[in-house]
Structure 1
């Protein structure tokens, strides 16, 4: 669904049209979930997606439609992710079963049956600088334009281009050397 149609649904939802609200959620839910999953973690993605829509529908009365509803919604999702990460840093984490499973998976040597390039890419993405990961996911995974991404991130288009370029370089280096991005390799 194109941005103009999404914006029309958001404005109709603002005016009380429940069907338009449901259509808006169905049309955007996957992108919101993907962004939140990539900016935080897979376990938090669904809960944060719900939180994003709660915030969006609370803020809907102030949505004027000056920008696309998709850009507006993804900016809210970005703030939900930032708030989640900030809360998580303040709270001590207790190890759970999934932490042990993840640690065991990471300890496995590469190239064994069952180890996929997807796992290596996901690990490399997780290790990217957060601003670079955000720009990369928005443009390369979700397919937003650089202009839309700049609107979501609240920065200039040139900054988005730079972040995406550096993210590509970091990912290529990490996948080539299996050294997580942002971490110095010896030599």
Structure 2
């Protein structure tokens, strides 16, 4: 599990100070949570290309409504709830407009534009593929608790469901990921040529 470098108490204190007009607190608040927000919107939207825009939209919304934040929940949970709404709005907006491409075979162009040969790139793609195979609610619960390190109660608050539901979704996501990894490993072993005995 990957946890944030900043404790929730500090982040919440910065959010409250930022609400009071402290520009240093605003900067600390954004820096402390930017990575978590970016990760969350990437996995929730399943679109790494849109992550920066979604993270920016999340922070713009949060800073615009910071005057309403009272610190009753952690600032991290509050911000991730805003991120969730930002992704939902973005998906709704994208579904309502037609997509155009300036090339006849846009899929090949998109694949060629992807970076390759970077350290850890293939592992990252494999992880995204595995997570994308999970149903949306299970993926969200898994990302919130296992990648972002949120406690189950806060993940439930962000997702708008009971804690038991989050626990169940995470357990089912883990089981599915284990099955997918086992199937991929078996497929890789079957595809590898059998070793020939030395002559």
Which bracket does the TM-score occupy, shorter chain normalised? 0.7 to 0.9
Q: Distance in 1 between matches of 2:96 and 2:30?
A: 31
What secondary structure, in the 3-state scheme, does the structure 1 residue paired with 2:73 have? coil
Give the 3 Å change call, closer, same or farther, for CA 61–135 of structure 1 in structure 2.
same
How many residues align? The count is 170
**Match for 2:77 among 71, 80, 92?**
71
**Match for 2:168 among 162, 175, 182?**
162
What secondary structure, in the 3-state scheme, does the structure 2 residue paired with 1:155 have? coil
1:149 aligns with 2:174: no
1:45 aligns with 2:37: no
Stretches of structure 2 lacking an aligned partner (at least 5 in a row): 1-5, 113-119, 185-199
Deviation of 1:127 after TM superposition, in Å, equals 2.6
What secondary structure, in the 3-state scheme, does the structure 2 residue paired with 1:177 have? helix
Q: Which has the larger radius of gyration?
A: 2
Alignment root-mean-square deviation, CA: 2.3
TM-score for both structures, normalised by structure 2: 0.78
Deviation of 1:61 after TM superposition, in Å, equals 0.9
Could you tell me which residue of structure 1 aligns to residue 21 of structure 2?
Answer: 16
Deviation of 1:95 after TM superposition, in Å, equals 4.5
Q: Distance in 2 between matches of 1:169 and 1:139?
A: 15
Q: Distance in 1 between matches of 2:134 and 2:100?
A: 24
TM-score for both structures, normalised by structure 1: 0.82
